[in-house]
Chains A and B, each alone.
Chain A
Amino acid sequence: MKVNGSVYSDFSGSILQLLQQKNLSAERVAVEYNGDILPREKFVETFPKDEDVIEIVHFVGGG
């Protein structure tokens, strides 16, 4: 699967586990799953597959 534009291999688990593996707090990010916003409550029950495209974003400083 692709996460933030890079190929992410050898992962099996939920989106929540993906965030944990990347050391990201579920409360502070938004996840786009194959082009659609994935509601936070679905992080635990969504298991990405090989062909999936995932974007994980958070806030940074900006004007």
Chain B
Amino acid sequence: MQNDVFKLGGHEFTSRFILGSGKYSLDLIEAAVTHAKAQIITLALRRANSETEQILDYIPKGVTLLPNTSGARTADEAVRIARLARACGCGDFVKVEIMRDSKYLLPDNAETIKATARLAEEGFVVMPYMYPDLNVARDLVSAGASCIMPLGAPIGSNRGLATKEFIQILIDEIDLPIIVDAGIGKPSQACEAMEMGCAAVMANTAIATAGNIPQMAEAFGKAIEAGRTAYLAGLGRVLEHGAAASSPLTGFLAD
């Protein structure tokens, strides 16, 4: 496991847990990052109207910042947000998320492809959040994406891997890291995503709405590691019918 490096956009990570920073106290961010052993944290960009507490002061040094384009409804808006995020001076990573639908917060795949192409052209490490569709994923690869981030379930829902079958298709067919983003509600679901062969898992709400935030961050970190190790080990086979004894069938007391 020492050599199991997660490569993304020319950078190397040992953690496969991308932690969100939304909806919980800034005071808990450092503890969450440390307990999760996370090396990437997501951020959002908003209007600055007066000096408030700066989230950057709460993020441990050395953690890679991943700004998202939340709030964008079109490719144009996502490109604009990404450029502003880069102008804040925190690197080239961007998580493209484009939503027109405010009820289910589902990503607009068509606009996401457009934004990905333009941002990749501008040198960003583009991580597109998408509805899991193989054709769209292929278009995102052609557009220059650094990974594909399919949703497990609607954002913030904690409902888990509702799209499991389609995420598996992406894992099997797409030659980029597949990172489940959105919907993962508990560590067992994150673990399952990793067992399936996802390269990483992104989670925010599951941690932000937990009883103890640093503790849940730690649980996620461990679950993701366990799932990754299981994937590398190769899962045992599943029998369609019947049983197979785990103990020897010979040498029993009865003759």
Contact = CB atoms under 8 A, between A and B. Distances in A.
Interface stretch (B44-52, B168-176, B225-233, B238-246): B44-52
Contacts of B80: 32
Interface string B47-88: 111110011100000000101101000000000100111011
A29 interface: yes
B48 A62 contact: no
A57 B26 contact: no
Given A23-B51, A29-B88, A40-B89, A60 B83 contact: no
A62 B51 contact: no
Contact of B90 (A4, A56, A59): A59
Q: Looking at chain A, what size class is its interface with the partner chain?
A: 20 to 34
Contacts of A32: 80, 84
B43 interface: yes
Interface string A25-54: 101111110000101100000000000000
Q: In which size bucket is the chain B interface? A: 35 or more
Given A23-B51, A24-B51, A30-B88, A63 B45 contact: no
A56 B54 contact: no
Contacts, number: 102
B44 A59 contact: yes
Contacts of B155: 63
A31 B51 CA distance: 15
Which among B21, B70, B84 has the highest number of chain A CB atoms within 10 Å? B84
Nearest to B67: A59
Contacts of B104: none
B189 interface: no
B234 interface: no
A24 B50 contact: yes
- SS class of chain A's interface: helix, strand, loop or mixed? mixed
Given A28-B56, A30-B85, A63 B205 contact: yes
B13 interface: no
Interface string A1-38: 00011000000000000000011110111111000010
A61 B48 contact: no
Contacts of A57: 45-48, 84, 88
Interface in B30-52: 42-51
Interface in B79-103: 80, 83-85, 87-90
B146 interface: no
A60 B46 contact: yes
Given A30-B85, A30-B88, A59 B51 contact: no
A19 B4 CA distance: 45
Given A59-B85, A61-B22, A63-B21, 14 more contacts: A5-B47, A24-B48, A28-B48, A28-B54, A29-B88, A40-B89, A55-B47, A57-B45, A57-B46, A60-B55, A62-B68, A63-B20, A63-B182, A63-B205
Closest 4 CB pairs of A and B: A62-B44, A63-B204, A63-B20, A30-B87
